[in-house]
Amino acid sequence: MTKFLIVLFVLIISSTFIFAFSDSYTSNDKFLEQACNKAWEGEYDDAIIDLNKIIEKSPKYYPAYFARAGIELLKGEYSKAIKDYKKVNELTPDYTEDVEYFMDIANQALKYPEFKSDFINIYNISLNLGEGYVIKPDKKEKKVIQKLLYTKGFYNAHLKSLEIFCKDSGYSPKKYSDLFKLASKDVMAEIPNLEKQIRKEFFPMITKMEEEMLDSFVEVHKKDFNELKQEILKKENHNLTKKEYCSYFDENAQDLVKYKMNMYKF
């Protein structure tokens, strides 16, 4: 993973992916999003001050710890980041894989000081294209890239991951898919315009990020299915099939699409 992709991954995960695990968009979510936007602009200290306030008010609100750890990682404050990542693991299992990944990076940076050079201020983070030169996103491009990754990663990856998961189930949730596409039509229509605002040299990085998000969403479906399967088996002595899981999306299409739209909105 390139240095630029690492930074984008930290900020995207910290500022948007967290909402996929929230029951609703709360005031804490709003202030968290504002803090992460500051971090995106390189205002790390101000972002951490905001996150500290959220944590002081809601000490069990784990997304704030996760976001703060990501910023501490970018600042090179690896011990603090590790402490916050451990706190996230104490409060929720939702981010286990991501936490382990970033904790490994932090531990490696502490063990090998020369590795610290990979985590510098976001204004100096760059994407090396392998042709002897470096491309740096300007302030406007960073904002556009953030929005494009969110749009392609969440809206596209959500539907594609469901299609991939249900492919061998014997059932394709078409009603849900059609409603989701209709509800997200205006958002998806922004993609060509966003792409025009970014130098094409960044497209490989964006494509790679989208692929990683797609993989993670497929894993979420696998996890949800297995957990639901165990729960139903225990309560009803029924062995849930993938076909039943996939058909559930059509049976509850309107409510689920409404919920997803609220979850993914900017």
Q: Which of 78, 98, 125 is the last residue of a domain?
A: 125
Regarding whether 189 and 91 lie in a shared domain, the answer is no
Same-domain pairing of 161 and 220: yes
CA distances from 62 to 78, 96, 145, 166 (A): 18, 12, 26, 31
From 84, 101, 125, give the residue that closes a domain: 125
pTM over 0.85: no
Q: Is the separation of the CB atoms in 241 and 169 below 8 Å?
A: yes
Counted domains in the chain: 2
Owning domain of residue 239: 134-264
Co-location of 159 and 231 in the same domain = yes
**Phi-psi bin for 259: left (phi > 0), alpha (psi -120 to 50), beta?**
alpha
Is residue 146 located within the same domain as residue 253?
A: yes
> According to the model, what pLDDT value does residue 241 have?
94
Q: Who has greater pLDDT, 7 or 52?
A: 52
The CATH number for 11's domain is 1.25.40.10
The reply to whether 158 and 81 lie within a common domain is: no
Mean pLDDT (the chain) is 76
109 and 150 belong to one structural domain: no
Domain identity same for 114 and 165: no
Interval 27-62: pLDDT, tens: 787 888 888 778 777 788 998 999 999 999 999 998
Q: For 198-228, what is each residue's pLDDT tens digit?
A: 887 778 777 777 787 788 788 888 888 998 8
Regarding whether 99 and 34 lie in a shared domain, the answer is yes
Dump pLDDT digits (tens) for 119-178.
Answer: 333 223 333 333 333 445 676 777 787 778 777 777 778 889 899 999 999 999 999 999
Distance, in Å, from the CA atom of 22 to the CA atom of 52, rounded to the nearest integer, reads 20
